[in-house]
Amino acid sequence: MLVSANEVAGVTDVFTWLPAMALGWVCILYAAVNISLGMVFLLYGYRACRWLIPIFCAVIGSLVGCGVAAKYEFNLLLGTVVGAIVLGIIGWTLYKIVCCALGGLLAAIILTLMWPDVADRAGPYVWAVWGAAFAVGFVLVLVLFRPLLIIVTSVYGAACVVLGMLPLAMLWPAVSEPVMNFWVSQPWVLVVLVVAPAVVGAVLQFLDPAAKEGAAKPAKKKPAAMKEEAEE
């Protein structure tokens, strides 16, 4: 059976068009997830962390539990569930401690990025240096818990929104080329695009009364005072 040149060209066009369409939908999905997640962190990051930290701990616990179960030849599903439950409960009950520990870990990572040869220079005392960085980050988060958490979540949310909007711009050739050229020639614009909404989000989170710690709660009336009001 002979196939005409037009039919071959049509099949070729389909195989060329399908990957492009799939890539476009992937970009749209990536943008939607990043923008949605970014807006949550940007506007409600402090409150969202109260739930995200336990979820993060549960995910880590499931991976650890699965690894331990595989090593000792236990039931993988049981190990995954038990690990997720145990670390999820720890993340919920010790929420602030977990946040402080993550802050200490972040401080040690920042030290390593800023000082790449720390292991060579510190030698056998490298663990002491990392431990000191961890302790500084831990105490810093413990003392400035709410402000630091608001700032970090605002910056992360703004970065997610910007990274979600860039793929949308790349879908249109008429827009993508000028955007890329401008971004390469003016890299500081990307910093401004992240910092500006981050500042707005941080201010809104600071002004959010539901996110304030130690918010004034209505005082409970004493039984004597309630009895006097009932007699009146």
Q: pLDDT for 77-101, tens place per residue? A: 898 999 999 999 999 999 899 889 9
Distances (CA, A) of 131 to 48, 101, 127, 189: 29, 12, 6, 36
Average of per-residue pLDDT across 99-120? 83
pLDDT attached to residue 139: 92
Inside any domain, residue 120: yes
226 in any annotated domain? no
The pLDDT confidence band at residue 169, using thresholds 50, 70 and 90, is confident
Helical H segments across the chain, by residue range: 5-71, 76-93, 95-114, 118-122, 126-143, 145-170, 173-185, 188-207, 223-231
- Over pLDDT 90: what percentage of the chain? 15
* DSSP H or E stretch at residue 72: none
Q: What is the pLDDT of residue 194?
A: 87
140-164 mean pLDDT: 89
40-44, 186-190, 219-223: which is most confident? 40-44
Residue 26 forms part of a structural domain = yes
Res 148 pLDDT > 60: yes
pLDDT score, position 32: 85
Within a domain: 90: yes
pTM here is 0.66
- 55 in a domain, yes or no? yes
How many separate domains does the chain show?
Answer: 1
Which of 170, 154, 155 lies closest to 30 in space, CA to CA?
Answer: 170
Tally the C-alpha atoms within 13 A of residue 139's C-alpha that lie toward its C-beta.
5
Is residue 174 a part of any domain in this protein? no
In a domain, 216, yes or no: no
Specify whether the backbone of 150 is left (phi greater than 0), alpha (psi in -120 to 50) or beta. Answer: alpha
Mean pLDDT of 147-152: 89
Looking at the chain, the whole-number percentage of residues with pLDDT higher than 70 is 78
Average pLDDT over the chain, rounded to an integer:
78
Q: Which domain holds residue 156?
A: 19-168+185-207
Q: pLDDT for 24-58, tens place per residue?
A: 677 788 888 888 888 988 888 888 888 888 988 99
Whether 219 has a pLDDT exceeding 70, the answer reads: no
Residue 84 lies in a domain: yes
- Mean pLDDT along residues 113-135: 83
Average pLDDT over residues 112-132: 81
- pLDDT computed for residue 18 by the predictor: 46
